[in-house]
Amino acid sequence: MSVLSVLRKTFPPVQSVCRTWKLNGTTIQVRKAGGGPRKMEIMPSNFSWHQFKDYLHFYLMVGIIPLTLLVTYCNIFIGPAELREIPEGYVPKKWEYYRHCLVQKKPFHYFTFLHEIYGKFVNIIAELYIFITLVYFLLNILLKEKIGIKIEDQVKTAMKINMDSTANYWYRPPVTKYMMGVRKEFEEEEREYVMTEE
C-alpha cells in the first residue's frame, strides 16, 4: 500500500481522471460525454475497393517494374540483332530472324508445335498397339496351355468321381469298338429286311 501512495504523488494526471464524490465513502468516476453533434458518419464500407486498389497497385508494380528494367537493360546493353552468315547444315528457326532479343527469347518459341505433338502422339499410340498385341498373343498362348491342362485335369477327376467310362475324345476304347461292330451288323440286317419286303 505504501508503494501505491508513493505512485499517487508522482502521477497527478491519474488523480484528475477521477473525481471523488463522497457518497457513502465510495469514489465514482465521472463520464464526460461531450454532448455535441456526431463526428462519425455512418456510411457503407470501402474495404473491398481499397483492397482491390492495393492488390492492383501491388501486382502492377510486381509486373511492370521488373519488365521495364529488363527491356531497358536489353535495349541499352544488348541492342538489336545483327545478320551473320549461316553455317552449313544449320537450319535457323523462324524466331531467329527477329531483330529484338526479347522477341527471339520468347518462351513460347521453345514449346513444340501442334504437328510435332501430333506426330509424337501417333508414334506413342502405334508403339502401344504393337506392345499390347504382343502381350495379348503371349498371354493367349500361355493361358490356352494352362486352361487346356486344367480342363483335362477337371475331366479326369470328374470321371473318377462319377465312375464314368474312360474319355473317348482322344482315343477309342475297346468297348465302343465292339458296339460299333454290332451297330453295323444291325444296320445290314435292317437293309436286308427292307429289301426283302419290297
Considering the domain boundaries, does residue 2 fall inside one?
no
What does residue 23 show for φ and ψ, rounded to 5 degrees? -120, 105
Share in percent of the chain as helix, strand, coil (round to 5): 65, 0, 30
Partners of 26 in the β-ladder: 23
Considering the domain boundaries, does residue 63 fall inside one?
yes
What does residue 99 show for φ and ψ, rounded to 5 degrees? -85, -40
Considering the domain boundaries, does residue 158 fall inside one?
no
- Stated pTM of the model: 0.33
Considering the domain boundaries, does residue 117 fall inside one?
no
Partners of 23 in the β-ladder: 26
What does residue 18 show for φ and ψ, rounded to 5 degrees? -100, 135
HSE-CB of 78 using CA atoms within 13 angstroms: 15
The answer to whether residues 100 and 111 touch, using CB atoms and an 8 Å cutoff, is no
End residue of a domain, out of 69, 84, 110:
110
End residue of a domain, out of 110, 132, 155:
110
Considering the domain boundaries, does residue 177 fall inside one?
yes
Q: How many domains does the chain have?
A: 2
Print the domain residue range for 186. 168-198
The answer to whether residues 20 and 27 touch, using CB atoms and an 8 Å cutoff, is yes
Considering the domain boundaries, does residue 43 fall inside one?
no
Tens-digit pLDDT string for the chain (198 aa): 454 555 555 555 544 544 444 555 566 666 666 666 767 788 889 999 999 999 999 999 999 999 899 889 988 988 888 888 989 999 887 777 788 887 777 666 566 778 888 999 999 999 999 999 888 888 877 777 766 667 777 777 777 777 666 555 555 556 666 777 888 888 888 888 777 766
Considering the domain boundaries, does residue 90 fall inside one?
yes
Dihedral sign computed on CA atoms, order 6, 11, 14, 15: positive
Considering the domain boundaries, does residue 161 fall inside one?
no
